[in-house]
Structure 1
Amino acid sequence: MYNDIIEVIIDSISCQSYRLCVVDRPPVPSPKLKYTEINVKGRNGSYYEKYGYEDIEYKLTFNYLEEPETGTFKLQMRKIRHWLYAAERLELSDEPDVYYEVKKVEIGDAENDIVEFGYFDVTFTLAPFAKIIENSPLEFIKTASNLEVVFDNRSIVNSEPKIIIYGSGDCSIYVNGGEQIKFTGIDGSIVIDSERKLTYKTDSSGTHMNQSSKQSSNAYPELIPGDNQFLLIGNSITKVEIWRNALV
């Protein structure tokens, strides 16, 4: 059974930790397509060419009510503003399997008619799509000279995966029969982060070391919605992990 009280969770901290409640059930955000309008002389109407999606403006109203001995709303509001302005990730308790990337936060003026009560609006600018939460990557153990697998991507648009290759030496990867991406001199592991357009290795202290010189091109793989074909050719590779970064 679903709880009708919706929590807004920012960077793993619930709004209830700050004695905040959402005034109404939050709307379900949807991205809007961006179009270029094309008019052709002699033809009726216009043509529209799709070229991406707009960020989402997502407005929520919070209220605060606390016993007077725990502090005034104005005092608590300082902590609340710090929490909100630092936001990077937004989740809603009735959508437990996804999160939204926060790009910008605008906090409206707070109404404070009673010392222990207040309410205010917050407008979040979110990335166009929510991202499915993956608690672990797909893992494929390589037992033959080549690794060829098919896996499902629940994304509704193309997504930009993070692929981690373990092993040594040289290898090439192909995603959905696309361009060959070759890697040379792998030493332990290499990370191909399509979303951030980075190729790196992580050392024991967690520091990222640039490995772009080991990549044959500036191309980064994309996954399509539904079934994806992944092929890796390389004798000394032992394992591949794939974070799909599916968008919904």
Structure 2
Amino acid sequence: MQKLIVEVNEKMIDLSKLGFCIKERPSIPTPERVIETIDIPGRDGDLHVEKGYKDIDITVELNFMDDHLKDRIRVVKEILLDCDKIIFSDDQEFCYMVNFTKIGDIENEVDFYGSFEVTFNCKPFSYKLSTFKFVSAIDSFRVDGYKSAPLFKITNSQGDCYFILDNDNSKKIGVNIRASVVYVDCENMTCRSDDGINLLEYMVGDFIELDKGIHRITAYGGMSKVEVMTREGWR
């Protein structure tokens, strides 16, 4: 039986254990590439500029059967509206990152059975779940997916410390402040301390994306450890 698993605040919830099952495996849209076409006089052919990918909608029909139908629906609606990721049981190594959720009308002709559609608006790619864990970034690390918007964790910043990625000075990231832990989030473009204090004004360098391949980090100044969560997206 196909199952839908959702993540809410880093907690995985199998909806089948709450009595909600997928009627049939939904089709997953292929992300649509956004291309800007520019006609340049004197140039053979147009200039095509890739500008990223559009979000995708994944629609799932859920069936449910329960003697306490109304109460169970209230519970699952809260879960669906708050979820951050969705995972299908036949592909549990990958997830889809949810932007927002829309819940359709609930159809139930009898008091203990019903169905409804849920549409998850998601980021364009599927993401490998194992890449949502921190790994050491000193020396080298590998990205296997199409694209990565990494989360860096800098431990024991002594101020005026930074690292350079792939020996490219344009890929320099650091902080000019003493802190036990600093997170630099290239997906959400934030820089914060371990207790949530905004450190963006102390950040050095720009947020980056990582392409597929091996990446190398060289650290400078006072930092005892650099870790990375690659959060790899696959098309």
Superposed displacement of residue 126, structure 1: 0.7
Residue 127 of structure 1: how far off its partner (Å): 0.9
- If the length of structure 1 is used for normalisation, what is the TM-score? 0.80
Task: Provide the residue aligned with 1:183 in structure 2.
Answer: 175
Choose 168-177 or 56-65, whichever is displaced more. 168-177
C-alpha separation between the residues in 2 aligned to 1:193 and 1:40?
38
Q: Which residue of 1 aligns with 2:34?
A: 34
* One-letter amino acid of the structure 2 residue matched with residue 20 of structure 1: F
- Equivalent runs, 1:32-181 vs 2, <5 Å: 32-39=32-39, 48-66=48-66, 70-71=67-68, 73-133=69-129, 134=131, 136-139=133-136, 149-157=139-147, 159-167=148-156, 168-176=158-166, 177-179=168-170, 180-181=172-173
Deviation for aligned residue 1:129: 1.3
| Aligned mates of 2:75, 2:177 — CA distance in 1 | 49
How many residue pairs get matched? 226
CA drift at 1:47: 5.5
Contact 1:184/1:214 (8 A) holds in 2: yes
SS at match of 1:153: strand
TM-score (norm 2): 0.84
In structure 1, the residue corresponding to 2:59 is in which secondary structure?
Answer: strand
Structure 2 stretches of 5 or more lacking a match? none
Deviation at 1:193, TM superposition (A): 1.4
Assess if the C-alpha contact under 8 Å between 2:132 and 2:229 holds in 1.
Answer: no
Whole-Å Cα distance in 2 between the matches of residues 201 and 183 of structure 1? 11
Structure 2 residue matching 1:213: 3-state secondary structure: helix
Deviates more, 1:176-185 or 1:99-108: 176-185
Letter in 2 for 1:160: A
Partner of 2:23: 23
Unaligned runs of 5+ in 1: 141-146
How far did 1:110 drift? 2.1
Output the CA distance in 2 between the equivalents of 1:220 and 1:110.
43
Residue range with higher mean Cα deviation, 23-32 or 48-57:
23-32
Letter in 1 for 2:126: A
What root-mean-square deviation, in Å, do the aligned CA atoms of Structure 1 and Structure 2 show? 2.5
Amino acid at match of 1:246: E
Secondary structure in structure 2 of the residue aligned to 1:95: coil
Counterpart of 1:237 in structure 2 is 223
1:160-184: per-residue Cα shift (whole Å, max 9, x none)? 2111122324322111214233432
Task: Select 1:224's aligned residue among 196, 211, 215.
Answer: 211
Q: Is the 8 A contact 2:134 2:228 kept in 1?
A: yes
Residue aligned with 1:76, SS = helix
Matched residue type, 2:154: I
SS at match of 2:160: strand
* Higher alpha-carbon Rg: 1
Which structure shows the higher strand fraction? 2
Per-residue CA distance 1:189-225 (angstroms, 9 max, x = gap): 32211112112211xxxx21222233234x1232221
Shift in Å, 1:59: 0.8
* Distance (whole Å) between structure 1 residues aligned to residue 107 and residue 196 of structure 2: 46
